[in-house]
């Protein structure tokens, strides 16, 4: 029996933070891990390595968010190119560019799922004043996936920033209710509310650790699980 027969989920959306694009070897390793998984998978791409709109003054926010949205398309193209070494990805964007990347639709994404192609989703929600976390939740609910994975630089969810506070407490399991009440840094509130309402479980994990994606699909105790 192949090790794939152990997988406990048939579909997921993975949020890939822009931080991953700072390291070509990490990006390549993640692509190798995702390429041949026998499940429906969509990869929502961040752009935070290039620009984050919320770091701008409010008057400049619209401009910075537009640049941020474009940066997710740039990362989407890099992800597409890297995945192409291993499989046949399908890149869709909420901010389409004729001749470069076509517009996202639920139907196109589902068509790619049927062909077992990984779907790259760039361009966030297509709107400023949102984040790729919200795009990730939106696409997860729309595509009715079984799990959302948010890849980060740290092991999961902590009581406070573990990169600043050595005594930060790590949480293995949480409810959406608690995450929202205590405003724990997981995803933005819009994204969390949507996932909570649709009852889609979320796992926050260290994407820089090799093998974690498969461990999560096997329901091993990796990262912080929220439901």
Q: Phi-psi bin for 219: left (phi > 0), alpha (psi -120 to 50), beta?
A: left
With a CB cutoff of 8 Å and minimum separation 6, the contacts of 110 are 143
As a three-state string, the secondary structure of 126-175 is: CCCCCCHHHHHHHHHHHCCCCEEEEEECCCCEECCCCCCCCCCCEECEEC
Looking at 127, 159, 190, 218, which residue binds ligand UDP (CB under 6 A)? Answer: 127
Under 8 Å between Cβ of 108 and 90 = yes
Cβ 21 to ligand UDP shortest distance, Å: 8
Cβ 81 to ligand UDP shortest distance, Å: 18
| 151 in contact with ligand UDP (CB under 6 A) | no
Looking at 12, 13, 39, 72, which residue binds ligand UDP (CB under 6 A)? Answer: 72
Dump the DSSP string for 45-94.
E--TTT--GGGS-GGGHHHHHHHHHHHHHHHHHHHHHHHTTTS--EEEES
| 132 in contact with ligand UDP (CB under 6 A) | yes
| 69 in contact with ligand UDP (CB under 6 A) | yes
Cβ 224 to ligand UDP shortest distance, Å: 17
Looking at 64, 97, 190, 215, which residue binds ligand UDP (CB under 6 A)? Answer: 64
The token duo for 189 is: 């509130």
Per-residue mark of binding to ligand UDP, 9-28 (x: CB under 6 A):
--------xx----------
Q: How far apart, in whole angstroms, are the C-alpha atoms of residue 53 and residue 131?
A: 9
Cβ 49 to ligand UDP shortest distance, Å: 6
H/E run at residue 216: helix 212-217
Looking at 42, 68, 92, 191, which residue binds ligand UDP (CB under 6 A)? Answer: 68
Residues in contact with ligand UDP, total (CB under 6 A)? 24
Q: What share of the chain is helix, strand, coil (3-state, %, to 5)?
A: 40, 20, 40
Q: Which of residues 33-62 bind ligand UDP (CB under 6 A)?
A: 46-48, 52-54
| 76 in contact with ligand UDP (CB under 6 A) | no
Looking at 43, 65, 76, 224, which residue binds ligand UDP (CB under 6 A)? Answer: 65
Footprint on this chain of ligand UDP (rule: CB under 6 A): 17-18, 46-48, 52-54, 64-65, 68-69, 71-72, 124-125, 127-128, 130-135
């Amino acid at each position: 029996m192949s090790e794939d027969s152990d997988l406990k989920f048939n579909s997921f959306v993975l949020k890939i933070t822009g931080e991953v694009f700072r390291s070509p070897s990490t990006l390549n390793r993640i692509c190798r891990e995702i390429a041949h998984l026998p499940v429906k998978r969509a990869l929502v791409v961040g752009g935070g390595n290039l620009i984050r709109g919320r770091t701008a003054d409010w008057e400049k926010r619209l401009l910075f968010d537009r640049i941020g949205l474009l940066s997710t398309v740039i990362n989407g193209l890099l992800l597409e190119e890297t995945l192409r070494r291993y499989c046949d990805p399908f890149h869709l964007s909420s901010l389409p560019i004729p001749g470069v990347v076509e517009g996202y639709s639920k139907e196109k994404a589902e068509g790619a799922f049927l062909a077992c192609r990984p779907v790259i989703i760039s361009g966030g929600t297509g709107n400023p004043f949102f984040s790729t976390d919200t795009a990730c939740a939106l696409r997860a609910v729309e595509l009715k996936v079984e799990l959302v994975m948010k890849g980060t630089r740290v092991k999961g969810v902590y009581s406070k920033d573990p990169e600043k506070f050595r005594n930060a407490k790590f949480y293995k399991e949480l409810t959406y209710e608690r995450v929202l009440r205590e405003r724990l840094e997981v995803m933005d509130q819009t994204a969390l509310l949507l996932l909570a309402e649709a009852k889609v479980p979320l796992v926050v994990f260290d994407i820089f650790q090799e093998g974690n994606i498969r461990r999560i699909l096997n329901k091993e105790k990796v990262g912080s699980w929220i439901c």
